[in-house]
Structure 1
Amino acid sequence: MNIVYSIKQVSEMLDIPTVTLRAWENRYEAVTPVRTESGYRVYSDENINDLRWLKEQVEEKHMSISQAVLLLKEHKREKRQVHVFSEPPTGSSKEAYSKMSDQIYRTLFQFQAERANGLIDFGFSMYGYDAMFYHVLVPVLIRVGDAWEAGRATVAQEHFMTSLISQRFYQFFHLFPIYPKLPKVLSFCPEGEHHQVGLMLFSLFLRKNGVEVLYLGANTPLDGVLELIGEQHVQLICISTMSVNLVRETDEFVALIAARYPEINFILGGKGYERAEQLRYPDWVMKEPTDKWQEWFERSPYFR
Structure 2
Amino acid sequence: MYSIKKVAEMLNIPSVTLRAWENRYLAVDPMRTESGYRVYSEENIEDLRWLKEQVEDHDINISQAVRMLKARKEEKSRVQYVSDLGQGTTTDAYQNMRDQIFQKLFHFQGEQANALIDFGFSMYGYDAMLHHILVPVLVRVGDEWEEGKASVAQEHYMTGVISQRFYQFFHVFPINTHLPKALSFCPEGEYHHVGLLLFSLFLRKNGLEVLYLGASTPMDGVMQIIADQDIQMVCMAVTNVTQVPDCDALVTQMTERYPNLIFVLGGKGYENAGSTTYPKWVMTEPSEQWQDWFIQSGHFGANGRH
* TM superposition score category, shorter chain reference: 0.5 to 0.7
Task: Map residues 81-96 of structure 1 onto 2, 5 A cutoff.
Answer: 92-96=89-93
User: Equivalent residue of 2:216, what SS?
Assistant: strand
Q: Which residue of 1 aligns with 2:260?
A: 263
Report the alpha carbon displacement of residue 141 of structure 1 after superposing the two structures with TM.
0.8
Match of 2:157 among 154, 157, 160: 160
Q: Which residue of 1 aligns with 2:184?
A: 187
Task: Map residues 128-277 of structure 1 onto 2, 5 A cutoff.
Answer: 128-277=125-274
User: Equivalent residue of 1:173, what SS?
Assistant: helix
Q: TM-score, normalised by structure 2?
A: 0.67
**Whole-angstrom CA distance in 1 between matches of 2:281 and 2:185:** 15
Identity of aligned residues (%): 62
**Whole-angstrom CA distance in 2 between matches of 1:107 and 1:129:** 21
**Whole-angstrom CA distance in 1 between matches of 2:232 and 2:98:** 37
Q: Which residue of 2 aligns with 1:116?
A: 113
Q: Which residue of 2 aligns with 1:97?
A: 94
**Structure 1 runs (4+) greater than 6 angstroms displaced:** none
User: Equivalent residue of 1:301, what SS?
Assistant: coil
Q: TM-score, normalised by structure 1?
A: 0.68
The aligned amino acid for 2:160 is S
**Whole-angstrom CA distance in 2 between matches of 1:154 and 1:219:** 22
The aligned amino acid for 1:212 is E
User: Equivalent residue of 1:297, what SS?
Assistant: helix
Report the alpha carbon displacement of residue 154 of structure 1 after superposing the two structures with TM.
2.1
Q: Do 2:245 and 2:276's aligned partners in 1 also have CA atoms closer than 8 Å? A: no
Structure 1 unmatched runs, 5+: 1-90
Report the alpha carbon displacement of residue 97 of structure 1 after superposing the two structures with TM.
0.6
**Whole-angstrom CA distance in 1 between matches of 2:257 and 2:153:** 39
Calculate the aligned-residue CA RMSD, in Å: 1.3
Give CA deviations for 1:250-273 in whole Å, capped at 9, x if unaligned.
111111111111111101011110
Q: Which residue of 1 aligns with 2:275?
A: 278
**Whole-angstrom CA distance in 1 between matches of 2:149 and 2:220:** 34
Report the alpha carbon displacement of residue 299 of structure 1 after superposing the two structures with TM.
2.0
**Whole-angstrom CA distance in 2 between matches of 1:229 and 1:151:** 41
**Whole-angstrom CA distance in 1 between matches of 2:106 and 2:249:** 38
Q: Which residue of 2 aligns with 1:88?
A: none
**Whole-angstrom CA distance in 2 between matches of 1:204 and 1:144:** 21
User: Equivalent residue of 2:254, what SS?
Assistant: helix
User: Equivalent residue of 1:189, what SS?
Assistant: strand
- Aligned pair count reads 214
